[in-house]
C-alpha cells in the first residue's frame, strides 16, 4: 500500500503544510520541534540522517499505484550495539487519507526496514493516550504496551500521558510469517 523514500529538502513545504496546528505538531513530534514548524528546524532534523550507520532514518511515504505523497515517518535513536531504535513522527498528511490502512502500512514498512535492513532487535515508540486511533493501529500491528508516563506533557490546561510500546524482532517475524503463510489480512 505504501512505499518509503528518504525525506529531503524537497519535502519540507509539504510537511510544514500538514503541521497546521501546534496540537498536530505535538502529536507527531512530542517536543522535538517548536510551532510553527520551519525549514530551519527541518534542515537540522535531516542533518546526518539517512546515511550508512546513521542514528536516524527519515522517510516520506508514497501511496503505491498513484505515487501520491501521503505521509511522514522516522526511525531514530538507533543504537546498533544494543540493536534498538524508535519510531517517531508518524503522520498521514491529508485527513482523507486516514482510516484506509496507510498508517498501518507505513509502520509495517519502517519495521521491515529496521528489522531486516538495520538488523535491530527491538523497536519502540510512544503514543499519547488521547490518540486512540494510533494506539489501536500499533496494537493491531503487534506492539506491546510497556508502561505509561503519566501527565508528561502539559497542553493548554490539560496534561497528556505517553504510552510506551515496543516490538521485538521475533514478534515481528512471527507476525510476518503468519500473514504470509495463512494469508491473514491486516
pTM: 0.94
In our burial notation (b when 16+ CB lie closer than 10 A, e otherwise), range 140-161 reads: ebbbeeeeeeeeeeeeeeeebe
pLDDT at 65 over 70: yes
In our burial notation (b when 16+ CB lie closer than 10 A, e otherwise), range 106-125 reads: bbbbbbebbbeebebebbbb
C-alpha span between 166 and 178 (Å, rounded): 19
Question: Do residues 176 and 94 touch, judged by C-beta distance below 8 A?
Answer: no
Q: What cell numbers appear for 39 in the block?
A: 525549514
CATH-assigned architecture of domain 2-182: 3-Layer(aba) Sandwich (3.40)
pLDDT at 185 over 70: no
pLDDT at 96 over 80: no
pLDDT digits (tens, 9 = 90+) for 102-155: 999 999 999 999 999 999 999 999 999 999 999 999 999 999 999 999 999 999
Amino acid at each position: 500500500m505504501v512505499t518509503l523514500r528518504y525525506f529531503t529538502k524537497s519535502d519540507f513545504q509539504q510537511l510544514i503544510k500538514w503541521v497546521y496546528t501546534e496540537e498536530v505538531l505535538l502529536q507527531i513530534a512530542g517536543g522535538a520541534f517548536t510551532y510553527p514548524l520551519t525549514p530551519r528546524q527541518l534542515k537540522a532534523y535531516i542533518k546526518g540522517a539517512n546515511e550508512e550507520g546513521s542514528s536516524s532514518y527519515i522517510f516520506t511515504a508514497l501511496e503505491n499505484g498513484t505515487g501520491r505523497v501521503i505521509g511522514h515517518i522516522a526511525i531514530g535513536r538507533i543504537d546498533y550495539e544494543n540493536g534498538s531504535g524508535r519510531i517517531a513522527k508518524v503522520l498521514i498528511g491529508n485527513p482523507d487519507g486516514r482510516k484506509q490502512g496507510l498508517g498501518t502500512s507505513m509502520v509495517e514498512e519502517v519495521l521491515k526496514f529496521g528489522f531486516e535492513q538495520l538488523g535491530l532487535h527491538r523497536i519502540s515508540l510512544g503514543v499519547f493516550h488521547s490518540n486512540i486511533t494510533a494506539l489501536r493501529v500499533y496494537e493491531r500491528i503487534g506492539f506491546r504496551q510497556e508502561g505509561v508516563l503519566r501527565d508528561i506533557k502539559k497542553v493548554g490546561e490539560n496534561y497528556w500521558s505517553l504510552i510506551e510500546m515496543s516490538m521485538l524482532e521475533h514478534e515481528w517475524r512471527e507476525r510476518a510469517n503468519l500473514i504470509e503463510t495463512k494469508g491473514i489480512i491486516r
